[in-house]
């Protein structure tokens, strides 16, 4: 007898959209070019049919654009998600902002940040008095924080968790030792869903790969049925991927991304 609680793969499991984080998932921290095998895989898969590629990152649009140029990326994504919430259509290596989405996103964040103004002083005082972290300007937030180490970032996160319960639509988005603030309903998963819906691609035909805490919102099967992470992913990401019957690679960064892609969607013999 079959297990009624076992997760089964939908019938429509052909891959049509791959969504990758950038730093730690495709890009090494030393600034080296992205692994050639990722682009070879992308070209080979596109010979089978149309495949969209999204880079979904916490970087600003300008920062991501500079990195792709600096790393001599031979192919650029079809879409970019920047600061975990802005959406850009890419044409000829230039981003065209999705006006309706980005404008609404900007308005909601402006209203939110103004409505929760008491929190900024509380956070600033805590960071200044109890940590060695830096308070910095952030393009997507009234306040950015850079902790001195992962352990200190854990302490800051523990402080802010109960504090944010007073403002239920405000969240602290963490990536390693970095923090910014955002609206609860704007994150990597929501952006992936918006793009895939616009393209008419169901979640059954979407693969998402990430490595850090800010990737957790897109590592859900409501957004992408096929989930993976490289070996360098933080424990929380590995646990999420395993819980969703995804694939945790044995190799790191882009090599792990390609390993996961090969595992979840092996190219059939005779297909280039």
Task: Please tell me the number of Cα atoms within 13 Å of 21 on its side-chain side.
Answer: 31
User: Is 3 a domain residue?
Assistant: no
Domain boundary among 183, 203, 222: 183
Domain count of the fold of the chain: 2
Residues in the chain: 272
Same domain, 218 and 258: yes
Domain boundary among 183, 207, 222: 183
* Segments forming the whole domain that contains residue 159: 116-183
What was the pLDDT predicted at 13?
Answer: 63
User: Is 206 a domain residue?
Assistant: yes
pLDDT, averaged per 10 consecutive residues of the chain (272 residues), comes to 44 82 96 94 91 97 97 97 98 96 97 96 96 94 96 97 95 95 97 98 97 97 97 98 97 97 82 45
Q: What is the domain-level CATH number for residue 260? A: 3.40.50.1000
DSSP result, the chain: ---TTS----S-----EEEE-SBTTTB-TT-PPPPHHHHHHHHHHHTTS--EEEEE-SS-HHHHHHHHHHTT-SS--SEEEETTTEEEEEETTEEEE-HHHHHHHHHHHHHHHHHTTHHHHHHHHHHHHH--PEEEEETTEEEEEE-SSHHHHHHHHHHHHHHGGGSTTEEEEEETTEEEEEETT-SHHHHHHHHHHHHT--GGGEEEE--SGGGGGG-STTT-SEEEE-TTS-HHHHHHHHHTT-EE-SS-HHHHHHHHHHHHSPPPTT--
What was the pLDDT predicted at 230?
Answer: 98
What was the pLDDT predicted at 269?
Answer: 57
User: Is 53 a domain residue?
Assistant: yes
What was the pLDDT predicted at 6?
Answer: 44
Domain boundary among 183, 213, 230: 183
SS (H, E, C) 72-98: CCCCCCCEEEECCCEEEEEECCEEEEC
Same domain, 193 and 179: no
Nearest alpha-carbon partner for 182 in 200, 196, 195, 169? 169
């Amino acid at each position: 007898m079959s297990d009624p609680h076992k997760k089964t793969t939908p019938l429509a499991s052909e891959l049509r959209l791959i969504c990758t984080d950038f730093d730690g998932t495709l890009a090494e921290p030393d600034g080296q070019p992205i692994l050639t095998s990722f682009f070879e895989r992308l070209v080979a898969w596109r010979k089978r049919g149309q495949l969209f590629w999204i880079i979904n990152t916490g970087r600003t649009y300008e920062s991501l654009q500079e990195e792709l140029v600096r790393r001599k990326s031979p192919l650029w994504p079809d879409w970019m998600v920047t600061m975990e919430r802005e959406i850009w259509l890419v044409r000829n290596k230039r981003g065209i902002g999705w006006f309706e989405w980005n404008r609404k996103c900007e308005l909601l964040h402006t209203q939110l940040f103004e409505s929760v103004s008491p929190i900024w002083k509380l956070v600033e005082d805590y960071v200044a008095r109890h940590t060695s972290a830096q308070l910095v300007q952030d393009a997507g937030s009234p306040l950015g924080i850079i902790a001195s180490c992962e352990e200190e970032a854990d302490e800051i996160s523990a402080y802010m968790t109960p504090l944010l319960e007073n403002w239920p639509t405000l969240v602290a988005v963490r990536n390693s030792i970095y923090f910014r603030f955002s609206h609860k309903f704007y994150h990597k998963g929501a952006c992936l869903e918006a793009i895939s819906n616009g393209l008419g691609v169901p979640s059954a035909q979407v693969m998402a790969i990430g490595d850090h805490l800010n990737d957790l919102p897109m590592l859900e099967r409501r957004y992408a049925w096929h989930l993976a992470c490289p070996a360098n992913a933080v424990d929380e990401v590995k646990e999420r991927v395993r819980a969703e019957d995804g694939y945790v690679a044995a190799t790191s960064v882009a090599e792990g991304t390609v390993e996961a892609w090969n595992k979840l969607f092996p190219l059939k013999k005779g297909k280039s």
